Chains A and B, each alone.
Chain A
Amino acid sequence: MTTDHRQGAGETPARIVPSHEVPPDATLVADNTAELIDVGEHHLCPGCGEPIAIRAVMDGLSLLGLAERCIAVFGIGCSTAFSNNLDVEVLQALHGRAPSVATGAARSRPGLAVFTIQGDGDLANEGLQEVLHAAARGENIVCFMLNNGVFGETGGHLTVTTTIGQRTKNTLEGRDAARHGHPMRVAELLAGIDGVGYVARGAVNNAGNVARTKRMVVEAFTAQQQGLGLSFVEILTMCPTGWFVPTTEAPAYLEETIAATHRVGVLRSALG
């Protein structure tokens, strides 16, 4: 429901185009939420990239007509709460264990598109072995990692993907390799494992990258539908709260600090 709360509403300045009514003689080209997101309202922070990434996943599912026969397995993180807003079947896994839960779901219901959504702290810190072994086994699932380089839900401390120089709650001066170790490139790690059908890394820091990420989602589910093995898509997301940057600077911060280490692109594809 849209309401005009402008002070003195009705005295709209002449240069402002009214934007509360459905315009006549016009075609809707983008709706508020994706078809599979029931409720748009959520409690994630202003400027968070995770709702944008999850919308890209939902758009991909809709496009391929998989909504009726898919199971989402969520890990633990900020994005977990958003699973309540989705119009798909959802299983909740413990920390890091989503790929193993998805393995069980996919093996018992082989006709379904089973996919996981985890953060970088969940997937890479708490349960890296789960996704690596699922990949080595060639499980026919799609794994998404929303990578912002921080444990957002538990206070914003560094993860294993935090890039050198990135600010987090316990690397306020930026991650220093000598003190905090080196970042791990998870997509590259997965791309080196036989048994994966598709590996890519997208980002949601601008409209171009969002469109690119949606194409990666579609390709990942296509590989899954063709039985090519595990598909993995890492999506770089903004966390202005955890990075201590203004929301408007977060997309550029992602580009310069995160994407410089975690390069966006398709790393491996068995699609014809």
Chain B
Amino acid sequence: MNVRIRGTVRIDTEACKGCELCIEACKPEVLEMTSTSTNTRGYRYPELLPGCTGCRACADVCPDFCFQVYRFDEPRTWSPEEGLR
């Protein structure tokens, strides 16, 4: 299974307060909250799944400024075997 990836995000998990607004905002549905892991303040935080488009909706709605959004100069692909390439 190859997934086309146009962008990616850098997540400041320590800044997150676990409000999950980014999960709702993410159109490709590639953000997922951790189920057990928390940051040092005890909040669950989002993790990125393959398929980000770099649309920046997560950054627009995040009240805690956790996201840096990047767009790849050339779209890349992701597969479970090889990861991002």
User: Interface residues, chain A, CB within 8 Å of chain B?
Assistant: 1-7, 14-17, 19-23, 25-33, 37, 40-42, 44-52, 55, 204, 206-207, 210-211, 240, 247-248, 251
Instruction: Say how far A85's CB is from chain B's closest CB, in angstroms.
Output: 10
Please name 19 pairs of A and B residues whose Cβ atoms are closer than 8 Å in the assembled complex, sorted by A: A6-B34, A17-B49, A19-B10, A20-B11, A22-B70, A29-B56, A30-B68, A31-B68, A41-B15, A46-B18, A47-B20, A48-B63, A50-B63, A52-B61, A52-B63, A206-B24, A207-B60, A210-B61, A251-B21
What 0/1 pattern do residues 3 to 29 of B give for CB contact below 8 A with A?
001011111111101111101110000
Nearest B-chain residue to A204, judged by Cβ: B61
User: Interface residues, chain B, CB within 8 Å of chain A?
Assistant: 5, 7-15, 17-21, 23-25, 34, 36-40, 43, 47-50, 52, 54-57, 59-74, 78, 80, 83-84
- CB of A15 within 8 A of CB of B49, answer yes
Nearest A-chain residue to B51, judged by Cβ: A17
Interface of B (DSSP majority class):
mixed
Interface of A (DSSP majority class):
loop
Residues of B near A45 (CB, < 8 A) are 17
The 8 closest A-B pairs by CB, nearest first: A47-B19, A40-B65, A46-B17, A207-B57, A30-B59, A26-B70, A30-B69, A247-B19
Residues of B near A28 (CB, < 8 A) are 68-70
Most buried by B among A17, A32, A33, A211: A17
